[in-house]
């Protein structure tokens, strides 16, 4: 009975998220784009992106089919869950991109009117993406839980993770190959502006932004989201941490993380509504209910001022407040849920989850401190441009390395706190808490690439320069708030991986994973080296693909008559084809490495060594991911800071030096870094799936 209710409630909350997304989407579609050129370009990008996904999914379908057959040996349930996980992940990526590529042209056109309209359109697109991802996640988990038990849920997670890894790596390679190719030949060699329609790689570049930043990121966060819930369920169902008499939590341990995530959906929706108050009317039932709450809250003097400022059009403030409101509501709801579920230990569980939410937000602040040009570190990187590219690289690298200490200490504090409060279940719930507001965090994240793309479209369709200014402003606000999203992603990746790791050890019936055992040490060392190898492979892949792109763009500039005068049409589709082929070919090796290494080490050296492998990968994976993301972000913003006119501005040797940093940072922050987040979870979830072999 509890089980049925649970599935129902999860399904329902998932549907709420999807319904909200649908309403916003309908409203977004109703906005007509009055410029033919904008409509056309948007259509080209939309089609290019969908064509890539179609090809990618055809390849992945073979992979998923093969693995599903392997799963059949373990039982129909696991095979079903894996297939569902892979399908949901692919579906979330597909729909996200479908929507985002419709929102970009609309945002560009809205920006011809005013900044407020553009923000609304970009954020509408973002929140459709965000809500779809969590909605599909909740529905998918409910649908698999309907037919399989808790242990087979891991197969759902593995499906989601493997698709996410391929999508992230493939998307990352696609976008960076196009980006580097377009920049190096177009901007540097030919001296034409960014997003100039004469550049043959410009379409590939804009398609890439969607493929990498939207589809890749959606699949990534989808994977984080569902795996944090799955880890908490796997641990919750057998956890004896909370009852003094040694009982397991059983179904209550399943219900709590699911409802936590469910409350996160509600919190996210209400946060989105705060940012985009006009959308309120479009969500009839839910809208009235939330309006009622808002009605009460808005009467408070503090809230009144907040609302005024948001309605006054302060976009940065609005996004931040939306996130905070969602976080605050999440914490409030957690209190009620925890006290209801665990009564005497309720307050402990509440604090454990809250530590997760707080640490996620604090990591976001730390990320901002290290990567925003408002603060000292990035200014230092920019000032290193005085002595040329080498010092820019060195200062960016050391900034990234140094920046890892704060998030790692925060993650450690959250781990220690939540563990001492509520055992491993506490750690797992902290991760769920952190990710519960994925709905709004992803909305704010996905809003960025939409605004960025809108800027590209504005440039290519030669809209007035004020339009570009508006989209640039929106984009730069997005960059800052996206730091928060990145904080949640990396923090939760670490906590989720730790929880999955413990779940693996329990499932494999390991009493201890002793690093004094040489096999475990060997596993630890091999696990530690894997993220480095993985990064090397993806950076090299970007390099090779960019090289091919550079040669193609140079060839077109050389061979197509009148291309520079705007009379000859560039062969955009050739560049798209290069990015596509490269992405598909190059994503295989890193993906296979991640999938096979736990299996090979487990079979060769045994389950304890596999535990060591996971430990090693989590440690270097987390640190390396932070390093690469922050170095990359800092270089990017140092370049932008110089472009704003500091240290000489555009066209100076300082700027050239900063561009070198930015180019090095591109595969760091958009290909290798974010893939590592998925890598560590994919490897642990693969171990969890194969654990019964060793038990």
Residues numbered 406 to 445 that lie near a copy of itself (CB under 8 A) are 408-409, 411-412, 415-416, 419, 424, 427
Torsion angle in degrees (nearest 10) through CA of 533, 539, 544, 548: 160
Instruction: State the minimum distance, in angstroms, from the CB of residue 666 to a copy of itself.
Output: 9
Identify which of 117, 100, 76 has the alpha carbon closest to the alpha carbon of residue 213. Answer: 100
- Tell me the closest approach of the beta carbon of residue 621 to a copy of itself, in angstroms: 10
Q: Is 507 a binder of a copy of itself (CB under 8 A)?
A: no
Residue 59, token pair as written in the block: 């390849």
Distance of CA 615 to CAs 501, 508, 622, Å?
A: 8, 15, 11
| Residue 394 sits in the site that holds a copy of itself (CB under 8 A) | yes
> Can you tell me the distance from the alpha carbon of 439 to that of 436, in angstroms, rounded to the nearest whole number?
8
The stretch among 9-17, 124-132, 445-453, 511-519 that binds a copy of itself (CB under 8 A) is 511-519
CA atoms of 330 and 344, how far apart (whole Å): 21
Residue of 11, 115, 515, 588 that binds a copy of itself (CB under 8 A): 515
3-class SS at 555? helix
Rounded distance between C-alpha atoms, residue 452 and residue 460, angstroms: 13
Among 334, 620, 675, 684, binds a copy of itself (CB under 8 A): 620
User: To which residue do tokens 């509501």 refer?
Assistant: 329
Residues in the chain: 695
Site for a copy of itself in 160-189 (CB under 8 A): 184
CB 268: neighbour CB atoms within 10 A?
Answer: 31
Give Rg (Cα) of the chain: 24
369 near a copy of itself, rule: CB under 8 A: no
DSSP result, 230-284: HHHHHHHHH--SS-TT----THHHHHHHHHHHHHHHHHHHHHHHHHSGGGGGGSH
The tokens of 362 are what?
A: 């604090």
Among 514, 559, 569, 644, binds a copy of itself (CB under 8 A): 514
Instruction: Please list every residue from 533 through 562 that binds a copy of itself, using CB under 8 A.
Output: 533, 535-537, 539-540, 542-543, 546-547, 550
Using rule CB under 8 A, residue 603 touches a copy of itself: no
Among positions 324, 331, 619, 692, the unique one binding a copy of itself when judged by CB under 8 A: 619
Question: For a copy of itself, which residue of 532, 559, 564, 596 counts as binding (CB under 8 A)?
Answer: 532
* Nearer to a copy of itself (CB atom), residue 297 or residue 593: 593
- Applying CB under 8 A, which of residues 169, 363, 397, 685 lies at the interface with a copy of itself? 397
Binding residues with a copy of itself: total (CB under 8 A): 76
- Residue 360 interacts with a copy of itself (CB under 8 A)? no
- 578 touches a copy of itself (CB under 8 A): no
Site membership for a copy of itself, residue 242 (CB under 8 A):
no
Of 526, 545, 575, 686, the one binding a copy of itself (CB under 8 A) is 526
User: For residues 243 and 245, what is the distance between their CA atoms, to the nearest angstrom?
Assistant: 5
Contacting range for a copy of itself; rule: CB under 8 A; set: 52-60, 94-102, 343-351, 398-406: 398-406
Residues 274, 310: contact at Cβ < 8 Å? yes
| CB nearer to a copy of itself: pick between 473 and 655 | 655
- Of the candidate residues 99, 432, 622, 680, the single one contacting a copy of itself (CB under 8 A): 622
Q: According to CB under 8 A, which residues from 624 to 663 bind a copy of itself?
A: 627, 659-660, 663
| Residue with smaller CB distance to a copy of itself, 122 or 546 | 546
Single residue of 281, 336, 529, 592 touching a copy of itself by CB under 8 A: 529
Q: Which stretch binds a copy of itself (CB under 8 A): 91-99, 210-218, 365-373, 615-623?
A: 615-623
- For a copy of itself, the closer of residues 49 and 541 by Cβ is 541
Q: Which is nearer to a copy of itself, 326 or 537 (CB)?
A: 537
Q: Per rule CB under 8 A, is residue 612 in the interface with a copy of itself? A: yes
Q: Least distance to a copy of itself from the beta carbon of 184, Å?
A: 6
- Residue 198 contacts by C-beta under 8 Å, 6 or more apart in sequence? 186, 192, 563, 564, 566, 570
Q: Which stretch binds a copy of itself (CB under 8 A): 436-444, 567-575, 613-621, 677-685?
A: 613-621
Nearer to a copy of itself among residue 149 and residue 189 (C-beta) = 189
What are 11's two structure tokens? 């399904």
d(CA 108, CA 34) in angstroms, rounded, equals 11
Cα–Cα distance measured from residue 596 to residue 278, given in angstroms and rounded to the nearest whole number? 49
User: Judged by CB, which is closer to a copy of itself: 61, or 529?
Assistant: 529
Q: Which stretch binds a copy of itself (CB under 8 A): 163-171, 350-358, 384-392, 445-453?
A: 384-392
**Which single residue is written with the structure tokens 């140092």?**
638
- Compare residues 248 and 398 and give the one whose CB is closer to a copy of itself: 398
DSSP string spanning 583-651? HHHHTHHHHHHHHHHHHHHHHHH-HHHHHHHHHHHHHHHHHHHHHHHHHHHHHHHHHHHHHTTGGG-TT
Return the residues of window 188-217 that contact a copy of itself according to CB under 8 A.
none
Q: Are 298 and 274 in contact (CB under 8 A)?
A: no
From the list 399, 454, 463, 679, which residue makes contact with a copy of itself (rule: CB under 8 A)?
Answer: 399
Angle, vertex CA 670, rays to CA 553 and CA 598, nearest 5: 120
Distances (CA, A) of 307 to 90, 277, 304, 315, 662: 37, 9, 5, 12, 37
Give the CB-side neighbour count of residue 632, counting CA atoms within 13 A.
Answer: 23
Name which of residues 479 to 498 contact a copy of itself (CB under 8 A).
494, 498
By CB under 8 A, is residue 393 in contact with a copy of itself? Answer: yes
User: Which is nearer to a copy of itself, 383 or 461 (by Cβ)?
Assistant: 383
* Nearest-approach distance from CB 288 to a copy of itself, in angstroms: 45
Note whether 524 binds a copy of itself by CB under 8 A. yes
């Amino acid at each position: 009975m509890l089980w049925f209710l649970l599935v129902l409630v999860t399904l329902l909350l998932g549907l709420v998220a999807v319904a909200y997304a649908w309403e916003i989407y309908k409203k977004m579609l109703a906005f007509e784009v009055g410029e033919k050129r904008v409509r056309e370009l948007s259509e080209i990008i939309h089609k290019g992106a969908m064509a890539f996904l179609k090809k990618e999914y055809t390849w992945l379908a073979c992979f998923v089919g093969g693995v599903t057959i392997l799963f059949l040996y373990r039982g129909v349930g696991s095979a079903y869950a894996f297939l569902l996980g892979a399908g949901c992940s692919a579906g979330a990526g597909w729909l996200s991109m479908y929507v985002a590529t419709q929102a970009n042209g609309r945002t560009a056109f809205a920006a011809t009117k005013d900044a407020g309209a553009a923000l609304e359109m970009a954020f509408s697109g973002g929140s459709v993406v965000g809500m779809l991802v969590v909605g599909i996640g909740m529905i998918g988990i409910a649908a698999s839980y309907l037919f399989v038990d808790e242990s087979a849920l891991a197969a759902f997670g593995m499906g989601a993770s493997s698709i996410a890894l391929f999508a992230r790596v493939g998307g990352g390679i696609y976008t960076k190959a196009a980006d580097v190719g377009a920049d190096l030949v177009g901007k540097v060699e030919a001296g034409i502006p960014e997003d100039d329609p004469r550049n043959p790689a410009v379409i590939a570049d804009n398609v890439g932004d969607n493929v990498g930043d939207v589809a890749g990121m959606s699949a990534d966060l989808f994977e984080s989201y569902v795996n944090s819930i799955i880890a908490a369920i796997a641990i919750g169902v057998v956890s004896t941490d909370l009852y003094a008499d040694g009982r397991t939590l059983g179904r209550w341990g399943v219900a709590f993380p699911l409802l936590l995530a469910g409350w996160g959906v509600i919190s996210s929706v209400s946060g989105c509504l705060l940012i985009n108050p006009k959308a309120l009317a479009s969500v009839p039932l839910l809208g009235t209910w939330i309006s009622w709450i808002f009605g009460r809250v808005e009467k408070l003097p503090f809230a009144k001022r907040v609302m005024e400022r948001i309605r006054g059009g302060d976009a940065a403030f609005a996004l931040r407040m939306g996130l905070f409101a969602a976080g605050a509501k999440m914490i409030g709801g957690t209190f009620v849920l925890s006290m209801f579920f665990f009564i005497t230990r309720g307050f402990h569980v509440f604090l454990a989850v809250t530590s997760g939410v707080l640490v996620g937000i604090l990591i976001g602040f730390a990320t901002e401190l290290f990567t925003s040009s408002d603060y000292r570190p990035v200014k230092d990187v920019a000032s290193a441009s005085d002595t040329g590219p080498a010092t820019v690289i060195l200062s960016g690298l050391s900034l990234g390395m140094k920046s890892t200490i704060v998030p790692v200490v925060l993650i450690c504090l959250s781990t220690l706190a939540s563990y001492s409060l509520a055992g491993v279940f506490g750690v797992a719930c902290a991760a769920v808490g952190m990710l519960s507001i994925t709905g709004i965090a992803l909305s704010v994240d996905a809003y960025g690439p939409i605004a960025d793309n809108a800027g590209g479209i504005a440039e290519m369709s030669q809209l007035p320069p004020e339009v570009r200014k508006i989209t640039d402003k929106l984009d730069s606000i997005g960059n800052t708030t996206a730091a928060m999203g990145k904080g949640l992603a990396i923090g939760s990746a670490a906590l989720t991986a730790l929880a999955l790791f413990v779940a693996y050890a329990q499932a494999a019936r390991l009493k201890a994973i002793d690093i004094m055992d040489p096999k475990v040490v060997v596993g630890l060392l091999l696990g530690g080296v894997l993220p480095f190898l993985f990064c090397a492979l993806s950076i090299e892949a970007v390099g090779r693909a960019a090289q091919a792109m550079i040669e193609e763009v140079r060839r077109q500039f050389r061979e197509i008559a009148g291309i520079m005068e705007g009379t000859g049409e560039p062969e955009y589709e050739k560049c798209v084809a290069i990015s596509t082929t490269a992405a598909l070919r190059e994503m295989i090796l890193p993906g296979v490495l991640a999938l096979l290494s736990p299996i090979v080490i487990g079979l060769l050296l045994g389950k304890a060594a596999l535990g060591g492998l996971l430990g090693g990968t989590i440690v270097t994976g987390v640190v390396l991911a932070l390093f690469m993301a922050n170095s990359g972000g800092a270089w990017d913003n140092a370049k932008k800071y110089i472009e704003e006119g500091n240290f000489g501005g555009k066209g100076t040797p300082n700027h050239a030096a900063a561009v070198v940093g930015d180019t090095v940072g591109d595969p760091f922050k958009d290909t290798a870094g974010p893939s590592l987040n998925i890598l560590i979870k994919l490897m642990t979830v693969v171990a969890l799936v194969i654990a019964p072999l060793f038990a």
